[in-house]
């Protein structure tokens, strides 16, 4: 039995020595600068270094772009703050003496407004309806101070027939005619009146 063990042991020892020798040669070649750096495709070291350099450059460019965008956003925020910052305004008032005259405020007017009223049997009624509609529209858009028709500037009224006279009796020539008016005016608030 000892005869069979000794060649087997010798073969194992020989295999171990060959493996150690191969590993030593591989380590020596690694330190000596082999032509291949490994990886899934056994690329050369020069190719791997080139690809790594390209990746570093791309990463550096992307980082520089993101930093530039951040700087630009910060500049925009600073500009916006400067643009919206208003100087301190001091609102003062003057106390008038009893004998001093107070200047009359200028009349404040708004834009033109044209309104068409409801139809009526008479022109006066149609005109009153149009003026009432104008006042309602002015009160809705500009407030109660502007709705007085008497203080409006450039008042214009146009009344036209809105029917052909279907109602009534043709035999007696009493057909009813309806009218509709359109009014235009520039709503103005009334000026202050001097008190007692």
pLDDT class for 2, splitting at 50, 70, 90? low
For the entire predicted model, the pTM comes to 0.44
Q: Mind listing the pLDDT tens digit for each residue in 72-108?
A: 999 988 887 776 656 666 666 666 665 555 555 667 8
E strands, 64-169, are 113-116, 153-161
CB 195 within 8 A of CB 162: no
Q: Mind listing the pLDDT tens digit for each residue in 113-169?
A: 899 998 888 899 999 999 999 999 999 988 888 888 988 989 999 999 888 766 555
**Measured between alpha carbons, how far is 178 from 29 in angstroms, rounded to an integer?**
114
Closest by alpha carbon to 102, among 41, 188, 193, 25? 193
The CA-CA-CA angle for residues 111, 115, 118, to 5°, reads: 165
Question: Residue 131: its pLDDT value, please?
Answer: 93
Instruction: For residue 116, give every residue at least 6 positions away whose Cβ sits within 8 Å of its Cβ, in sequence order, or none.
Output: 130, 133, 180, 181, 182
């Amino acid at each position: 039995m000892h005869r069979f063990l000794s060649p087997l042991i010798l073969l194992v020892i020989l295999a171990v020595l060959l493996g150690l020798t191969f590993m030593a040669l591989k380590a020596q070649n690694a330190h000596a600068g082999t032509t291949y750096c490994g990886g899934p495709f056994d690329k050369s070291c020069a190719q791997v270094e080139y690809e790594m350099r390209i990746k570093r450059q791309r990463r550096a460019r992307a980082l520089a772009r993101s930093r530039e965008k951040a700087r630009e956003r910060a500049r925009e925020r600073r500009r916006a703050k400067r643009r919206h910052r208003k100087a301190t305004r001091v609102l003062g008032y003057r106390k008038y003496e009893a004998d001093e005259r107070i200047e009359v405020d200028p009349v404040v007017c708004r834009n033109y407004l044209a309104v068409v009223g409801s139809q009526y049997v008479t022109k006066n009624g149609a005109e009153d309806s149009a003026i009432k509609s104008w006042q309602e529209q002015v009160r809705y858009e500009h407030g109660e101070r502007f709705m007085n028709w008497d203080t409006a500037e450039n008042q214009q009224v146009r009344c036209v027939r809105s029917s052909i006279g279907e109602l009534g009796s043709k035999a007696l020539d009493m057909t009813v005619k309806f009218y509709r008016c359109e009014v235009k005016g520039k709503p103005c608030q009334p000026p202050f009146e001097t008190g007692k």
